A and B are shown apart, each in its own frame.
Chain A
Amino acid sequence: MSDVGIEWLGDRALLLRLGSGIDAALNARTHAAAETVRAAALPGVTDIVPAYASVAVHYDPLAWNDAESALPPGERLAERLLALLRSSSAATANDSIAAEDSAVEIPVCYGGDEGPDLGEVALLARLDEAGVITRHAAGDYRVAMLGFAPGFPYLLGLDPALHTPRRASPRRRVPAGSVAIGGAQTGIYPRELPGGWQIIGRTPLTLFDTSRDPAALLTPGRRVRFRAIDADEFARLQAHG
């Protein structure tokens, strides 16, 4: 892995930059880099946060202090990280992604009360509602990153026809499980939150539950598929928790 840049995220975190923008191949390289760093189990590293094209590494400078060295702890860790990423070739990067490539299936009840913006998305996409559902459920998605709220996945792989601008005025309350589109991305609200994305449906699955391990149903890099369900199945699945 070459051309990785280092940016300081303060004095207790740094950012490994693999590129810029939203791109599936770049994001896959980002997850491979995060996995390489995780597997190295470096001392003092508390959090490794992959995003679209970067990996934040949070660390305790005490663990990288060396009175013999002229370099500050951050520089020492940065050197180590760059060496790690150089030695992990592109081939192993692809393998580590392929290792867990089964898709998590998300049942979604599209439209109606569960998806109040489905009509708006259809209008903007010049499709009928059924066309939006077919295209959204046909996509092969990947979790680019989590953020905004615990367990909120930003998914790559939305059909370009469905790219829809955010709502002019955000909603104060978007129900937990709402499946939504914001620009080129689609995502799922893990709990009731304010939000400006277009809501096209809702899943009865629980996205985030601290009593589970992992707490997030969708973890960084996972493949995701959607399956359209009707209101009866939504109610049945919801009743079964």
Chain B
Amino acid sequence: MSLRVLSPGLLSTVQDGGRHGFAAIGVGAAGAMDPVSLRLANLLVGNAQDAAALEITLRGPRLQCKTDLLIALAGAEIDARCGGETVPLWRPVLLRAGSELNLGGMRRGARAYLAVAGGIHLPAVLGSRASDVNAGLGPLPRPLAAGDSLACAPAPRSLCGDLWKRLESASVDEGTDKQNVFSTNWSLDPRAWFDVDTAHPIRAIAGTHFERLDGDSQRALFGAEFRIGVDSNRVGYRLEDVAIALAAPIELVSEGVAPGTVQLPPGGVPIALTAEAPPTGGYPRIAQVIAIDLPRLAQRRPGDRVRFAETDIADAQMRYLEREHALARLAEHVHWRLRQSW
């Protein structure tokens, strides 16, 4: 079972739930920028939610299926075609061996996730298969390149039984059926999980050094509209176009940071740290994007506008718990659907 990379797209990497437990020796988590879309894509093919999948940025790769594959695409609205047929998103899809999956541009959002039933089969490095390109870590410590072959574990036939049957009968019935794409007639409703509306603010908690900003900067941080810098990446998003300054310089030594920490380097352009942030940093921490809004930030593109709305830890954690409970309910339902016949 494998996928061959014909062309890699703009920035396609292997990502999972991230590398945890090694931050004390300088190893950041990495993992998916939009972990919710990763989890839903995995869910749709019967994988563990944090299994390794492909994270595709802005423009997708061309991939050849070496075997029949059960896949799901979630996250950004990516143009996906296979042998002239459209590949629908947010649902399980069977692709026939030998077919070519052509992933193009994105109509909305910045990151799409391609999960393959069984997961991408690579040896875990420090407990994770995630590519940390910034730190040079992972079983594949770089973006995908043409010629790469990604092994996939065999997909269990117990999943999407009817799809497999339709695929196999079509294969036998050669010549009469040229279909490459077989999908379920149901899909997830992405609206609850995928939001790229730039009119919606990103919620954040005031950071440790928020009070050290001058008055104008404090008001601007939770009010003004920033523009996401073009050199933003998986390490951090540069928040440009708004003057943010400390009332007086602060001497700081390095200490822990986390994805979502908004740091203020001396240049005055805040940086919102994202998936590949190192575990420590030495700049003032002016805000913390809350966990449930990190996927929404990750779906914004360089050049997009972003505003921040202030909230507090009690609200942030209540929303986090609600999201996790909703995801758990959805997971149960999808597990049940995958085993039905249609």
- A residues with a Cβ closer than 8 A to B are 7-13, 15, 20-22, 34, 46-56, 58, 61-62, 65, 72-75, 145-152, 154, 191, 208, 210, 214-216, 219-220
What separation, in Å, do the CA atoms of A65 and B255 have in the docked complex?
Answer: 27
Question: Shortest distance in angstroms between B236's beta carbon and chain A's nearest beta carbon?
Answer: 14
Is A8 in contact with B288, judged by CB distance below 8 angstroms?
yes
What separation, in Å, do the CA atoms of A20 and B208 have in the docked complex?
Answer: 13
What separation, in Å, do the CA atoms of A12 and B279 have in the docked complex?
Answer: 13
A residues in contact with B317, CB < 8 Å = 11, 61, 72-74
| Closest A residue to B132 using CB positions | A150
Query: Is there a chain A Cβ closer than 8 Å to B334's Cβ?
Result: no
Interface size on B, residues (CB 8 A): 42
Main secondary structure of the interface of B (DSSP, over half): mixed
A residues in contact with B171, CB < 8 Å = none
A residues in contact with B192, CB < 8 Å = none
Is A51 in contact with B255, judged by CB distance below 8 angstroms?
yes
What separation, in Å, do the CA atoms of A145 and B280 have in the docked complex?
Answer: 9
* A-B CB contact pairs (8 Å), 18 listed: A8-B208, A9-B257, A10-B260, A15-B255, A49-B256, A52-B254, A56-B256, A56-B257, A56-B279, A62-B321, A75-B314, A146-B24, A146-B26, A148-B26, A191-B136, A210-B125, A216-B26, A220-B25
Binds A, one of B15-23, B48-56, B73-81, B302-310: B15-23
Is A149 in contact with B26, judged by CB distance below 8 angstroms?
yes
Q: Given A8-B288, A10-B205, A215-B126, is A150 in contact with B27 using a C-beta cutoff of 8 Å?
A: yes
Is A47 in contact with B24, judged by CB distance below 8 angstroms?
yes
Q: Which of B231-270 contact A (CB under 8 A)?
A: 251, 253-261
Query: Is there a chain A Cβ closer than 8 Å to B148's Cβ?
Result: no
Q: Which of B274-330 contact A (CB under 8 A)?
A: 278-281, 285, 288-291, 313-314, 316-318, 320-321, 324
B residues in contact with A22, CB < 8 Å = 253
Contact of B321 among A9, A54, A65, A215 (CB under 8 A): A65
